[in-house]
Amino acid sequence: MTKGITTGIVYHPSFSRRSYLTQGSRLQDFPQILEPLLKDPRFVLFESPPIDEIWVLKVHTPELLEGVYADPLCSTAWHSAGGVVLGAEKIVLGEIRNAFAFIGAGGHHSGRDFFGGYCCFNDVVLAMTVLRERHGVRRFAVLDTDAHHGDGTRDLVRDDPDVLHVCLCTSAYESPDGTKVDVPVPFEASPWRAFSWGRRLEAPESARDVDRRYYETARRAFYDRCVRFAPELIFWYFGFDTHRGDYGDLGLTRQAYLLLAHMMKDLAETVCNGRLEVVLGGGSRSDIARDCIPPIIAILGGRS
């Protein structure tokens, strides 16, 4: 491992100019807001390279690739996927212990032959593919806490027994082998949804209680399963679209994400020598990004 470096931060300047649901605004304060962290030798910034089409075509069809080329919302897709791959490779090579990968275009709604929802190439599955073919890493676990179901990732790993994929969403499902799991989030816990499943919430919980219930739901769904599964590397697909006031509002605040970050770091240290990559997913507001992302990275590097 590179001396003094535990956490890699993977970023590309295009993510601040054109990013996800907005043209630059959600990441408008990055990477400059990370300067206090980057003065600490435990953190290092890497620039995301573009993914090579050779790898894209190992995961996606030529028709999907053509569609991504034609979609202006996918202009950052190559560097987005390439950055996730770079972070994962540096982890398994021992150059860093864990990573936070920024993206300009998402990944978890991109399947073998379909994409949408501002997702273009499936960054996590591309990273798995590269790690398997280049480095012999076979077994992975993915926790997806974006507001929406990771249907593209599920499409690509559905029949892969060496991938544990747990998604917090709106449905309940577990595959016969227990490696593909959907867990309904506690919508009824959110005080910010005035109407939940057609009924008014008469006594909404506090934000602290909502954060705690969401965290406990994620922990019950993933922690013990992951320990038993014993992956060689863990991905956390983190979307802040679940934050109060964002487009996937579940009533969460920063505290929920910090609880999850501590959990995921502890889990990775327990089962796979700290190998964890946090991949940014959905979210549209720059104030939420500014408030939530730096402290998550700080936790990864052991600074909190």
Whether residue 283 contacts residue 241, with contact meaning beta carbons closer than 8 Å, is answered with yes
Q: pLDDT for 41-86, tens place per residue?
A: 999 999 999 999 999 999 999 999 999 999 988 999 999 999 999 9
Instruction: Tell me if 88 is assigned to some domain.
Output: yes
Structural domain contains residue 185: yes
Asked if the structure places residue 107 within a domain, the reply is yes
Mean pLDDT of 210-221: 96
Span 224-240, pLDDT tens digits:
999 999 999 999 999 99
At 204 the pLDDT is: 52
CA atoms of 86 and 127, how far apart (whole Å): 8
- Count the residues in the chain: 304
1 in any annotated domain? no
Residue 39 has pLDDT above 80, yes or no: yes
- CA torsion angle for 75, 80, 82, 84 (degrees, to 10)? -170
Structural domain contains residue 2 = no
Residue 218 belongs to domain with CATH number: 3.40.800.20
Number of domains, the chain? 1
Residue span of the structural domain in which 178 resides: 7-300
Average pLDDT, stretch 256-261? 98
Q: Tell me, yes or no, if the pTM score tops 0.85.
A: yes
pLDDT reported for residue 175: 98
pLDDT at 196 over 90: no
The more confident residue out of 277 and 191 is: 277
Kindly report, residue by residue over 112-167, the tens digit of the pLDDT: 999 999 999 999 999 999 999 999 999 999 999 999 999 999 999 999 999 999 99
Q: Is residue 25 part of a domain?
A: yes
Query: In the structure, what pLDDT confidence band is assigned to residue 19 with cuts at 50, 70 and 90?
Result: low
pLDDT value of position 21? 53
> 1 pLDDT band (50/70/90 cuts)?
very low
